[in-house]
Amino acid sequence: METLSVSELFVSIQGESLAAGRLCAFVRLAGCNLRCAYCDTNYAWDADAGRAMAVDDVAAWVSGSGVPLVEITGGEPLLQPAVYPLMETLIGRGLEVLLETNGHVDARGVPERVTRIIDVKTPGSGMAEGDYLVNLPSLRENDQIKFVLTDRSDYDWAKEVLAAHPELGRVSAILFSPAFETLPPRDLAGWIIADRLPVRFQLQLHKYVWGPQERGV
């Protein structure tokens, strides 16, 4: 029986992506290959910190939550091979499935019906030296690309990435988010307006509602 290392399961309001504001069931898997400077889920970095659960049991919890939208996140969920049968199972049950990935793992094997939310790590994350463009050649129309920005330098860097990679224009949304309590949202909004940048500004709503350290919300 295929198993997953699960950090936590909970129902909350989706705080990011085009689904922001919607009721969502969350499956947070344990284990991550990155160590971002602004990470607020470092308790999910270590795969051994999660509890072992069968794929069918995780899917049963999601189905039992009564919520038709589910996000699989981490950590980095694509590090666990059993996440693929989990996604297939959830799709087979008629659920809308989101996958949040840090962008440094090849995501081509993710089912087409899953919405991939792919991070592009900026210099401010401390992780921009890795293979942050690995998924650009295989982008899909239902993908969403997310930049978390810590300062003006990150913003200018992200603009350069957009200019150098026109294939980013094929996704459903390019999300620019200010790192919570690091980059003032007003500053980022002003830069986007001044540059007429064709991106979607977003805030991490869950942090404003419950605070940055609250778990299971």
Task: Tell me the C-alpha distance between 178 and 169, whole Å.
Answer: 21
Model confidence, pTM: 0.94
Per-residue pLDDT of 131-182, as tens digits, reads: 778 898 899 999 999 999 999 999 999 999 999 999 998 999 999 999 998 9
DSSP letter, residue 57? H
DSSP letter, residue 48? G
CATH assignment of 3-210?
3.20.20.70
